[in-house]
Structure 1
Amino acid sequence: MWAYYNGFVSPADLELATSVEILLMVALGGRGTLLGPALGAALIVGLKNLVSVYTHRWLLILGGVYIGTIVYAPEGIVGTLRQWTKGEGAMGTKAVVVVSMVLIAIAGAGSAWAQKGPIKIGVIAPMSGGAAQIGKDMTNGIAMWLEENNQTITGRKVEVIIEDSQGQPNVALTKLQKLVESDRVHVLVGEVFAHIGYAMAPKVEEYRIPMLYPVIAADDLTQRKPARWVVRTGWASSQPSHPFGEYAAKTLGYKKIAVIGIDYAFGWEVVGGFQKTFEENGGQIVQKLWAPLNTTDFAPYLSQIKRDADAVFALMVSISASRFPKQYQDAGLKAKLPLIGGGTTFDEFVLPSLGDEAIGGISPLIYSAALDTPTNKRFVTEYRKKYGKVPSYFSETCYTSTRWINEAAKAVGGDVENREKFLAALRRVEIPDAPRGPVKLDSYGNPIQNIYVRRVEKKDGELWNTVVHTYPAVSQFWKYKPDEFLKQPVYDRNFPPCKHC
């Protein structure tokens, strides 16, 4: 039992907890009849469900009941009742003793709980550099949920330790090591960029510590190269692009589209998902241009865009998203070629820095601050009061991820120290009323959630992503069978090939 509750023995390896419970059911109820174990089972299940809400040390409490039963009522409840009806035992005295043992065990568990200290959450985010606003939005979302919940999770105080990754893989890995080895956090949350997510995943597996990816969307982390200790609470890169490719062909009626994207894994995967479904629905990708991460001058690329396309699909991130729409308009392209794109091109993190050049931009994503639901309207109102701006998807996913940690911690009675149990609970979480809408994980560990097609509009002098269409409960595999989908390569710079370029 000691090894079990201290995390040295996994329930996946040895079912110690179940064995102890069954033994106690028989001992408490009484041997020799079917009634005894049945009665014991009812009492133990009820006691466990009651106590585990308040403390993760429910095994200690059950152990106290077991000891009290063996010492003071070795015949169990049924046997003691039989003796009492025959005038052979002092059942009342024995019952008082057993109940006293339970209360002592509860008090002991409460004392041990009080000594546990705070739940430590380690956050890795770009707090400086071109993606600093994203990092700020992420940490704002975490801070807001904790403030609304008295800075506690399952009754334990929460300590958040934020480390600046500077948007660099080597820095992120160094910060990860510090958080695990020096700060001894219980769970990690972060980062932003897909290539950093791919770099961190093996280290997270090595440390065997749960890490939530509320932003990192790298497809293969929940597809061909799943990371067991990584729990994605955001989205897969190509997930919104699959329905949007169909939307661009069927609803917007585009036949030929030119693409410009940021040249790294996230950009390739967003573009790849769009290209696959757009071309399957009769469209043609006629050009692909790739700009390096953090590009701020797009003039060399804008001059190359094919003018005979029906529209341009742009995938921008970080500082590039704040520069591209204005340069696109200044190049005289907006009036000729409608601009659509990946969700981060027009996300709320960048809208405050844009002007009328963004109006009309259409993009898909898992969230819009304009969602007309009671949960989201409250979230947006409170976020604006606190931070003076509308929340971005980065804010929402980190807000929801903090709640996600809370739900999992509740499921294990606050026992976040037992990493195996905590990880399993994280993967079982379902949130029916997140600001973005209902969220749950598929069997591969990626959220199933709504995808919103959004159009940038100006309302009362402010830019908003108005929702024009909703695709409910979208999987990372869209309409494809997972086993068939996974036979194709991960989307990259050259896949799907540009057959019409």
Structure 2
Amino acid sequence: MNTQNIFFRFIFIILFSVYSSSISYSKDIIKIGTLLPYSGVYTVLGEEITNAMSLAFDEIGNKINGNTIEIIKGDTEVKPNIALQKSRKLISSDKVDILVGPVSSSVALALRDIVVQTKTPLIIPNAGANVLTDEKCSKFITRISFSNYQINAPMGSWLANQGIKTAFLLAPNYAAGKEMMNAFKEKFTEAGGAILGEEYTPFRKTKDFGPYLARVKESGADAVYVFYAGGEAINFIKQAHSFGLSKVMKLTGAGWTTSPLFLPAQKDAAIGFIGSLNYVPSIDTEANKIFINSYKSKFGRIPSEFAVQGYDSGKVIIEAIKSLSGDVTNKDNLAEAIRTVSINGPRGPLTIDKKTNNVIQNIYIFEVIAGEKGPELKVLDTIKAVKAPGKKCNI
């Protein structure tokens, strides 16, 4: 091989390397992978989150700094092993830039290590396990939704300050149910309240609440504090109403129990329930009114708290990538950009706590009242800028 051929081959290799490098670092498509339930009992939650996130992207023409946004869905089926399989595909094969999900805390905990090891930023739009932004925290995991403590602790103090002196706790027998009850109990007893009893029902298996309602009523407590979701929430509210529980004590609890998703089935039985949530449709701000109109126009229903968490996840993604001028190639920089975003959305001002990567947000105390078109949630009080403790987090 002569010197001239060697020279030309050398030049070709250099030019090819430069060209390849420019191709790999210029992205025309920003890939967002979702790890959410699109089948099974929590399908509606996956749909709400994805619909609202898509709405946020639609508002900017599905482009950030000229790059097209593509959503690639992964159905977790609310099963940790399935979620892990889907995450590997999204990360390794689809090469997503950001993951959004999941709904279930058990799934989130299963995903935690693969996300951290591959440095793939994960935005959590629902799973509330306290450890995710505490001892299991990571700069690559940012929670836009809530921690179980964050939603329930404010209600303990608030109810005690309203003159409720005694309470009975009732929730499903699994980690989230117990975390929520413990958060309420901590602040309620600190404020001088007393817990007269607590019961934990078989998770997703309880259809007859009669025996539990009888024990709640016999306790003589001023209030019952509960958490249920889905079919159990609908059944509990209906049976508590038939049992006449609200005639002898206040019905209170984590606000998902009377989510806008469940009110159409609960109907007037939900009236009088007092709960706490990070979003209710009656928040009286221009941003919320615009969001409700847009969501209702596109999807034909009032958005729930799950929808807002999806919408705000989309907004955070948009602002983070804008701050990087569209460059998502460096995952450390992308994770840092996500955790430094602040927005003002339908549920109010949102910032990320740098100590925990959990959202700092308002918590709304509401009462279910009779509205013109059926039951609706009326804001009674706003607890501003609530944080999750995260004492063991070290980011």
Residue of structure 1 aligned with 2:34, choices 101, 112, 123: 123
Q: What pairs up with 1:83-102 in 2 under 5 angstroms?
A: none
CA deviation profile, 1:443-464 (whole Å, cap 9, x unmatched): 2211111111011112112322
Q: What pairs up with 1:92-491 in 2 under 5 angstroms?
A: 116-251=27-162, 253-299=163-209, 300-307=211-218, 308-431=220-343, 433-442=344-353, 443-477=355-389
CA deviation profile, 1:417-450 (whole Å, cap 9, x unmatched): 211110110111111x211100111122111111
How many residue pairs end up in the alignment?
371
Structure 1: distance between partners of 2:345 and 2:305 = 12
Structure 1: distance between partners of 2:241 and 2:89 = 45
1:365 Cα deviation (Å)?
Answer: 1.2
Structure 2: distance between partners of 1:322 and 1:129 = 17
Structure 1: distance between partners of 2:173 and 2:64 = 40
Supply the AA of the counterpart residue of 2:293: T
User: Aligned to 2:196, what secondary structure does the other structure show?
Assistant: strand
User: Aligned to 1:276, what secondary structure does the other structure show?
Assistant: helix
Structure 1: distance between partners of 2:35 and 2:208 = 30
**TM-score, reference length from structure 2:** 0.89
1:322 Cα deviation (Å)?
Answer: 2.5
Structure 1: distance between partners of 2:36 and 2:250 = 33
Supply the AA of the counterpart residue of 1:415: D
Higher relative contact order (CA 8 A, sep 6+): 2
Structure 2: distance between partners of 1:217 and 1:422 = 23
User: Aligned to 2:333, what secondary structure does the other structure show?
Assistant: helix
Answer whether contact 1:259 1:289 (CA < 8 A) is retained: yes
Unaligned runs of 5+ in 1: 1-107, 488-501
Supply the AA of the counterpart residue of 1:179: L
User: Aligned to 1:413, what secondary structure does the other structure show?
Assistant: coil
> Which residue pairs with 1:75 in the alignment?
none
Answer whether contact 1:262 1:317 (CA < 8 A) is retained: no
**TM-score, reference length from structure 1:** 0.71
CA deviation profile, 1:77-131 (whole Å, cap 9, x unmatched): xxxxxxxxxxxxxxxxxxxxxxxxxxxxxxx9xx859962311111111122221
Supply the AA of the counterpart residue of 1:362: I
Q: In angstroms, what is the RMSD of aligned CA positions?
A: 2.1
Q: What pairs up with 1:2-41 in 2 under 5 angstroms?
A: none
Supply the AA of the counterpart residue of 2:92: E
Structure 1: distance between partners of 2:111 and 2:195 = 33
Structure 1: distance between partners of 2:379 and 2:192 = 25
1:180 Cα deviation (Å)?
Answer: 1.1
Supply the AA of the counterpart residue of 1:247: W
Quick check: which has more Rg, 1 or 2? 1
Supply the AA of the counterpart residue of 2:232: S
CA deviation profile, 1:448-486 (whole Å, cap 9, x unmatched): 111110111121123221111011111113xxxx75xx5
Supply the AA of the counterpart residue of 1:282: G
Quickly say closer, same or farther: Cα 1:183–1:293, change in 2 above 3 A.
Answer: farther
Structure 1: distance between partners of 2:166 and 2:86 = 45
User: Aligned to 2:318, what secondary structure does the other structure show?
Assistant: helix
1:207 Cα deviation (Å)?
Answer: 2.0
Structure 2: distance between partners of 1:139 and 1:321 = 23
CA deviation profile, 1:243-268 (whole Å, cap 9, x unmatched): 210111111x1111111112222211
CA deviation profile, 1:135-165 (whole Å, cap 9, x unmatched): 1111111121122221222321111112221
Structure 1: distance between partners of 2:65 and 2:203 = 41
Structure 2: distance between partners of 1:115 and 1:295 = 51
Answer whether contact 2:267 2:374 (CA < 8 A) is retained: no
Answer whether contact 1:383 1:389 (CA < 8 A) is retained: yes
User: Aligned to 1:322, what secondary structure does the other structure show?
Assistant: helix
Answer whether contact 1:193 1:266 (CA < 8 A) is retained: no
Quickly say closer, same or farther: Cα 1:182–1:301, change in 2 above 3 A.
Answer: farther
1:133 Cα deviation (Å)?
Answer: 1.5
Between stretches 323-332 and 296-305, larger displacement belongs to 296-305
User: Aligned to 1:344, what secondary structure does the other structure show?
Assistant: helix
Percent identity, please.
34
Supply the AA of the counterpart residue of 1:231: T
Answer whether contact 2:217 2:245 (CA < 8 A) is retained: no
Answer whether contact 1:296 1:324 (CA < 8 A) is retained: no
Unaligned runs of 5+ in 2: 1-18
Structure 2: distance between partners of 1:345 and 1:287 = 20
CA deviation profile, 1:372-424 (whole Å, cap 9, x unmatched): 00000111111111112111111001101111011110111111121111011
Supply the AA of the counterpart residue of 1:220: V
Supply the AA of the counterpart residue of 2:318: N
